[in-house]
Amino acid sequence: MLFLLLATLESSEERRKFEQLYYQYRSLMAYIAMGILHDSQLAEDAVQDAFLRILKNFCKVGEIDCHQTRNLLVIIVKNVSIDIYNQRRKVSEVYADDYTFDRITAVSESIEPESDLSLALDAISPQNRDILYLCYAEKCSVKELAALLGISESAVKKRLERARKALGSQLEQEGGQ
């Protein structure tokens, strides 16, 4: 599969970078997918689908060995895995808290750990935190978010609206205490 993915890239530098990305994060992505799907074949499918989405938006990948790239890949494979889970179970909505894998905290390093914003981000749902991270830290457009998450642009807008509202409510709640 890697060979087919590499064949779609134009330059040898892009191929080298994608190959490095693939080998560095494949195991982590498989672990996360397995935590959601509990089936090794489905987990492998999720990882491959995630790499296809990454390939379509490869310009968003900066340095290979950094927390932002790791967060981006984890969010993508998590969403792909949840999509597969939903398709297999015919469940309308699944929350990431239901799974046994470690939740990632998608808070930019520029935010002080004990700041109101950091505490509020930690208090909202992982789904809301992930969409805010991709939008503001990774600077993804609505169209790019839709492609990365495999949902429609209107669904992205609605998720962003809900996430902003949840963050605002959490900040108000913390400010009132």
Q: Tell me which of 4-8, 45-49, 70-74, 94-98 is least confident.
A: 94-98
What average pLDDT does range 107-135 have in this prediction?
Answer: 70
User: How far is Cα 33 from Cα 79, in angstroms, rounded to an integer?
Assistant: 9
CATH number for region 105-177: 1.10.10.10
pLDDT exceeds cutoff 50 at 92: no
pLDDT exceeds cutoff 70 at 126: yes
For residues 58 and 160, the model is more confident at 160
Q: Note the pLDDT of residue 9.
A: 62
What average pLDDT does range 102-122 have in this prediction?
Answer: 53
pLDDT exceeds cutoff 60 at 100: no
pLDDT exceeds cutoff 90 at 137: no
For the segment(s) 1-98, the CATH number from 1.10.1760, 2.60.40, 1.10.1740, 1.10.3470 is 1.10.1740
For the chain, the average pLDDT equals 77
Where exactly does CATH 1.10.10.10 map onto the chain?
105-177
Q: Note the pLDDT of residue 175.
A: 67
For residues 176 and 95, the model is more confident at 176
Where exactly does CATH 1.10.1740 map onto the chain?
1-98
pLDDT exceeds cutoff 90 at 104: no
User: How far is Cα 4 from Cα 169, in angstroms, rounded to an integer?
Assistant: 46
Give the ranges where the chain is alpha helix by DSSP (H): 2-7, 12-37, 40-56, 67-89, 116-123, 126-132, 142-149, 153-176
Q: Note the pLDDT of residue 85.
A: 86
- Length of the chain (residues): 177
Q: How would residue 152 be classed by pLDDT, with cut points 50, 70 and 90?
A: confident
